[in-house]
A = this chain, B = another copy of it.
Amino acid sequence: MVSNLSQLGLSQLVQGMLAGHRLSLARLISKVENRDGDVSSVMEQIYPKTGKAEVWGITGPPGAGKSTLADVLTKHLRSLGKKVAVVAIDPSSPFSGGAILGDRIRMQQHASDPEVYIRSLGTRGKHGGLSHATKEVVLLLDAAGFDVILVETAGVGQTELDILRLAQTVIVVLVPESGDSIQVMKAGLMEIADIFAVNKSDRPEADKLVRELVTMVGMNPHDEHSWMMPVLKTEAQRDIGVKELADAVQQHQAYLTRSGQRDLKVREFLKNEVADILMERLVQTVHDAFKTPSGHQLLDSLAQRKTDPYKAADSLFET
């Protein structure tokens, strides 16, 4: 009975969310984030409604102005009548500092706009859980009918880079001070970026950074069918260059469709989603197996070096 009731609760929340109720959406996101309740049943119900939203990633070093840029991009998208959701991944590291809270408060200028939804995901996930939960939250927002979902990360680790893979277009935000480390970052940047934004471009050295990025992009192997990553100057705080940035994203989205890349990205995302689901189950299964008497014995043998982790994995797999 309890289980049925909770099922009913979830279905009602899903219905509410699809009907545009903000509170149902917020509660579903919390449930998915905290793996509270039958997440798989939620995802099964909403999945057919997904696949319509554009997902834009915004990443860059701390202090680059990502949140301000997300804020101003939201304003531009609203002026085009688009429904916008912003998902901000709070850094999972205890050393990342505290700028985030202020940023979130600033974004509240959109708080009264029913067509804008802003959500921070901050819980550090276990076993890649943050990355998986975030992707599912984006699917929820997609099903809820948002036209554009901005995913903002500080891009500081494997988890965040994994999350960025769900974006179709990734904007890498740099600031003139980033110039010194460009050579070091090069490989990583080229791998994730679709568009470069040199923000705070009123500062000295901005043009130098732009030139370096343009050179870097030009040296990347490409032919006439490749996407040439644009390098744009922005001053998010004064709303300079942000409209052009939004236009560049639209061009990239058109390129994705034209080139067939969009379909490849969707398939890659789906493969990883299925792998994530199986992985989450596996972790639970292993966790449970070690709680049984034979699991305890196995752990004893391991601790006494009578067996090794690979043989233990074999025997666990068989049972």
Contacts and interface: CB of A to CB of B under 8 A. Distances in A.
B189 A94 contact: yes
Interface string A266-308: 1100110111011101110011001000000001001101001
A101 B180 CA distance: 14
A160 B158 CA distance: 9
Interface in A180-231: 180-181, 183-185, 187-189, 191-192
Contacts of A267: 299, 302-303
A274 B98 contact: no
A275 B271 contact: no
A230 to B, nearest CB: 19
Given A273-B309, A308-B44, A93 B156 contact: yes
A130 interface: yes
Instruction: Determine chain A's interface SS by DSSP, over half rule.
Output: helix
Nearest to A295: B271
29 contacts: A43-B308, A43-B310, A47-B308, A61-B95, A91-B156, A92-B157, A93-B155, A94-B188, A94-B191, A94-B192, A95-B154, A95-B156, A96-B156, A97-B184, A128-B128, A128-B158, A156-B156, A156-B157, A159-B159, A267-B299, A270-B312, A273-B309, A275-B283, A277-B309, A277-B313, A278-B282, A278-B286, A278-B313, A282-B282
Closest 9 A/B residue pairs (Cβ): A157-B157, A94-B188, A47-B308, A98-B184, A61-B95, A277-B313, A40-B310, A94-B185, A273-B309
Interface of A: 40, 43-44, 47-48, 50-51, 59-62, 91-98, 101, 124-125, 127-128, 130, 154-161, 178, 180-181, 183-185, 187-189, 191-192, 263, 266-267, 270-271, 273-275, 277-279, 281-283, 286-287, 290, 299, 302-303, 305, 308-313, 316-317
